[in-house]
Chains A and B, each alone.
Chain A
């Protein structure tokens, strides 16, 4: 197990943006009323935000960042590191973070790079940026997370399309000698790489004419090899099995109990999955907020989006201690503890 602790880095601000257009799962075609009811009850997803063609994750992150820097009153040239963590980059190359450096008018002396992770990404991303910043040489940094998943889910695939929503969030971090440590426990299981994947379009399976062909794989499941394929049952049993074990190891290692945390902030994967984890870990319902009903599974943006939509008041006015866990595509998962103190939060912007 990979254990890591970082020091002296504080979450200064949080912002997020979603597309204006909402779709309701009550309007799903090809679903009977009973199917819709069972789907919404089980997954927890009632509405999702869907980006119009061409609106990118970086567009959402850009707007969120402009609003946040303005509210934090940070000067653009003070930002020395920008990490863009996403699986829906603007281009195959170059990296999106570099484009954002220019678009945000950050200095040329800013470190920029992309990280290609999904549901586990917010936890992973915080481990990377806080590691870079903890020596105090970089004072201010931005971690952007999120995905426009609607672009790669086939609307004719009932196993993916009704689950995912689009969102981009940004977390502003600041070197602060008095900040409490962040503790991490990070994991990978690449044997499950096929559980969530877009098979074609990378170097392994170069895009070809065949990649575009829509196949009917099952009733209500038609997609091409450029669309995301999800083996929901495998991801489900992976998550309810591995995640609580990691959380328990984390609690044991640091001598924590569920009562030591104000919140358990989980990746918003699926309500039944998350509730199964919550019950196994014996956290109370009050400790576990959800944004999944209104926004769906928003990939790496789901934890900060939940913080903004459900906990903005608490986060911006007092100290909070939270256990965070991201898990999914990779397969990849991580657990961390995060202490915050009066985070500057914006509204969730609608683009």
Chain B
């Protein structure tokens, strides 16, 4: 799994976001468009695309795109 394709998937889901906005170091909460709706979209995407369960608590703990990527990677390996 590559972070590039991971970011591509995120940008496809976040329709309102201009393509190329997300970098591995981008902080989710710093995005102007960030809202609880985006959090729901993230949880849904991780479930359908990677079969990884992400909780609200996880999202509170993490900052950046690569933080999320690392969680998903670790949980995929563990399962």
Stretch from B22-30, B37-45, B63-71 that touches the partner: B37-45
B40 touches A42 (CB 8 A): yes
In the complex, whether A231 has a CB less than 8 A from a CB of chain B is yes
Chain B contact residues, majority secondary structure: helix
* Interface of chain B residues 34 through 65 with chain A (CB within 8 A): 35-37, 39-41, 43-44, 47-48, 53-57, 59
Q: Evaluate contact between A39 and B47: CB separation under 8 angstroms.
A: no
Known A240-B47, A279-B48, A280-B48: A234·B37 in contact at CB below 8 Å: no
Could you tell me how many residues of chain B have their Cβ less than 8 Å away from some Cβ of chain A? 18
A225-263 residues with Cβ-Cβ distance < 8 A to B are 231-234, 236-237, 240-241
Q: Given the complex of chains A and B, what is the CA–CA distance between A33 and B74 in angstroms?
A: 38
The verdict on A236 contacting B43 (CB below 8 Å), with A38-B35, A241-B53, A279-B48 known, is yes
* A120 CB, nearest partner CB in chain B, Å: 20
Among B37, B54, B55, B59, the most chain A Cβ lie within 10 Å of the Cβ of: B37
Are B43 and A159 in touch, CB under 8 angstroms?
A: no
Contact status B37-A237, CB under 8 Å: no
Which residues in B have their C-beta under 8 angstroms from that of A279? 48
Contact status of A273 and B44, CB under 8 A, knowing A39-B37, A233-B36: yes
In the complex, the answer to whether A34 meets B16 with C-beta atoms within 8 Å is yes
User: What is the CA–CA distance of A234 and B43 in the complex, to the nearest angstrom?
Assistant: 10
A276 in contact (CB, < 8 A): yes
B residues near A42, Cβ cutoff 8 Å: 37, 40-41
Contacts of B37 in A (CB 8 A): 38-39, 42-43
Give the Cβ gap from B72 to chain A, nearest Cβ, in Å: 14
Contact B56 A280 (CB under 8 A): no
How far does the Cβ of A268 sit from chain B's closest Cβ, in whole Å? 16
Query: How far apart sit A231 and B36, CA to CA, in the bound complex (Å)?
Result: 11
Residue in chain A with minimal CB distance to B45: A276
Interface residues on A, range: 20 to 34
CA distance A276 to B53 in the complex (A): 12
A62 to B78, CA, bound (A): 53
Q: In this complex, what residue of B is CB-closest to A40?
A: B37
What's the nearest-Cβ distance from chain B to residue A117, in Å? Answer: 23
CB–CB B47/A231 < 8 A: no
**Cβ–Cβ < 8 Å partners of B55 in chain A:** 233-234, 237
Task: Scan A17-45; emit 1 where CB is below 8 A from any B CB, else 0.
Answer: 00000000000000000110011001100
Chain A residues with CB below 8 A from B57, complex form: 234
How far is B47's CA from A97's CA once the two chains are assembled, in angstroms?
A: 40
Distance in angstroms between the alpha carbons of A38 and B16 in the assembled complex: 9
Kindly state the separation between the CA atoms of A232 and B42 in the bound complex, as whole angstroms.
13
Q: Does A306 contact B (CB under 8 A)?
A: no
A314 at the interface (CB under 8 A from B): no
Contact assessment for A237 and B41 in the assembled complex, using a CB-CB cutoff below 8 Å: no
Q: Which residue of B lies closest to A221 (CB)?
A: B36
CB of A272 within 8 A of CB of B35, answer no
Nearest first, the 4 A-B pairs at minimum CB distance are: A233-B56, A276-B44, A42-B37, A241-B53
Interface residues of B (CB under 8 A from A): 16, 33, 35-37, 39-41, 43-44, 47-48, 53-57, 59
A-side interface residues toward B, CB under 8 Å?
34-35, 38-39, 42-43, 159, 231-234, 236-237, 240-241, 270, 272-273, 275-276, 279-280
Contacts A42-B37, A237-B43, A273-B44 aside, 8 further interface pairs with beta carbons under 8 A come to A38-B16, A233-B36, A240-B53, A272-B40, A272-B44, A275-B44, A276-B44, A280-B48
A-B contact pairs, 27 of them (CB 8 A): A34-B16, A34-B33, A38-B16, A42-B37, A42-B40, A43-B37, A231-B56, A232-B56, A233-B55, A233-B59, A234-B55, A236-B43, A236-B44, A237-B43, A237-B53, A237-B54, A237-B56, A241-B47, A241-B53, A272-B40, A272-B41, A272-B44, A273-B40, A273-B44, A279-B48, A280-B47, A280-B48
